[in-house]
Amino acid sequence: MENNNEIKRFHGDWKCSQCGREITTLPFEPKGRSIERVKCVECYRKMKEAEA
């Protein structure tokens, strides 16, 4: 039986737009201009903490 609570992961070769770190999995499929704004987990956390 499939667990519907699992987050689908997309695999590819991207670079973090902030620090340049390699990203191989994302919880969404970046398309178009969103590819330019992809962030690694650490940079995403820092961004969210700064917003709080």
Q: How high is the pLDDT of residue 1?
A: 46
1-52: per-residue pLDDT in tens?
456 678 899 999 999 999 999 999 999 999 888 888 999 999 999 999 999 8
Amino acid at 46: K
CB 14 within 8 A of CB 35: yes
Report the distance separating Cα 10 and Cα 12, nearest Å.
7
- List the structure tokens of 2: 């499939």
Q: How high is the pLDDT of residue 40?
A: 96
Q: How high is the pLDDT of residue 3?
A: 61
State the DSSP code for 8.
Answer: P
